Amino acid sequence: MFPKGTKRKFSDSGEEAVCGGGGGGDQGPSAAPAPSPSPAAARTLSSSYSLQRQSLLDMSLIKLQLCHMLVEPNLCRSVLIANTVRQIQEEMTQDGTWQIMTQALAAAQCPADRLVATEVLCRQTEAAAQEGYHSEEVVMDGDAEAEVAMSSLSPVSPQLSSASYLAGADSRTGEQVFGTFEIKHPAPPSDPALEELFSDVDPSYYDLDTVLTGMQSTPKMGPYDLLESLSSHGPTALSSSTTCRSDLNELDHIMEIIVGS
């Protein structure tokens, strides 16, 4: 069920930090403050708690991605996982970590990583997907070791991997997770101020391939507001989908010639 890429490095006693404690029992050596809303400035995040939270975020995003790969995903499970992701994002926004992540992404110069990650989301080929997971594995492993060596939390590398999931996930999470549950009724056109999902009435939506690969529209802003900075600084992400789109158009053209319509 869960790809072997991301290793769980913390014992269950260490999990207590993320899990909110076992009802007042000892927190263990890696004690962290209970996740309660408080001003970011006043809060000291332990590195271990932050890593665990990051790991949980990554795990959740992977689960959401895997969701639409199943025969018919479970809507309840998808909603619960998506809510968990939102909660993590809210907390990270409150303590400023989210801001750091988006800035790091904007400044980052790793188009290859993003490309590979978005290919995972696009699910073009099995090989590409495998490669995506492996690259994720490499990033995660490398980061964990780096974390141990560094005293301060480095936002760049570990955040990048989940951010690249988010890049595709934010515009597509809703539609990939919830969109495949729709049958028969076309999505109503929505107000441009509203974000993502069914914003275009596009007949290609009903084509399973386009739903899965999310090629139907250019990536739109999502609840994480991540892609905006990504697309403004990383034209490669956009161009990858444009390339795919032009490939599809070409294929259509060829088919038309063959069919003679």
Partner 1 sequence: MAADIISTVEFNYSGDLLATGDKGGRVVIFQHEQESKNRPHLRGEYNVYSTFQSHEPEFDYLKSLEIEEKINKIRWLPQQNAAHFLLSTNDKTIKLWKISERDKRAEGYNLKDEDGRLRDPFRITSLRVPVLMPMDLMVEASPRRIFANAHTYHINSISVNSDHETYLSADDLRINLWHLEITDRSFNIVDIKPANMEELTEVITAAECHPHQCNVFVYSSSKGTIRLCDMRAAALCDRHSKFFEEPEDPSSRSFFSEIISSISDVKFSHSGRYMMTRDYLSVKVWDLNMENRPVETYQVHEYLRSKLCSLYENDCIFDKFECCWNGSDSAIMTGSYNNFFRMFDRNTRRDITLEASRESSKPRATLKPRKVSTGGKRKKDEISVDSLDFNKKILHTAWHPKDNVIAVAATNNLYIFQDKIN
* Cα separation, 147 vs 164, whole angstroms: 20
Q: Does 146 bind partner 1 (CB under 8 A)?
A: no
* Cα separation, 70 vs 51, whole angstroms: 29
* Cα separation, 217 vs 198, whole angstroms: 10
CB of 43 vs partner 1, minimal distance in Å:
15
String of contacts with partner 1 for each residue 1-20, x by CB under 8 A: xx-----x---xx-xx-xxx
* Cα separation, 39 vs 214, whole angstroms: 38
String of contacts with partner 1 for each residue 13-52, x by CB under 8 A: x-xx-xxxxxxxx--------xxx---------------x
**Which residue from 197, 215, 226, 230 is in contact with partner 1, where contact means CB under 8 A?**
197
Half-sphere exposure of 248 (CA within 13 A, CB side): 16
Interface with partner 1 by CB under 8 A: which range of 42-50, 130-138, 160-168, 196-204?
A: 196-204
Q: Does 56 bind partner 1 (CB under 8 A)?
A: yes
Q: Does 180 bind partner 1 (CB under 8 A)?
A: yes
Q: Does 182 bind partner 1 (CB under 8 A)?
A: yes
Q: For helices 156-174 and 111-122, what crossing angle results, to 10°?
A: 30
Q: Does 203 bind partner 1 (CB under 8 A)?
A: no
* Cα separation, 236 vs 114, whole angstroms: 8
Which residues neighbour 199 within 8 Å (Cβ) at sequence distance 6 or greater? 187, 189, 190, 192, 217, 220
**Which residue from 38, 83, 243, 246 is in contact with partner 1, where contact means CB under 8 A?**
83
CB of 241 vs partner 1, minimal distance in Å:
20
* Cα separation, 77 vs 142, whole angstroms: 31
* DSSP annotation of 203: G
CB of 217 vs partner 1, minimal distance in Å:
14
The residue behind tokens 């999931």 is: 165
Contact footprint for partner 1 (CB under 8 A): 1-2, 8, 12-13, 15-16, 18-25, 34-36, 52-53, 56, 59, 71-72, 74-77, 79-80, 82-84, 87-88, 174-175, 178-184, 188, 190, 194-198, 206, 208, 223
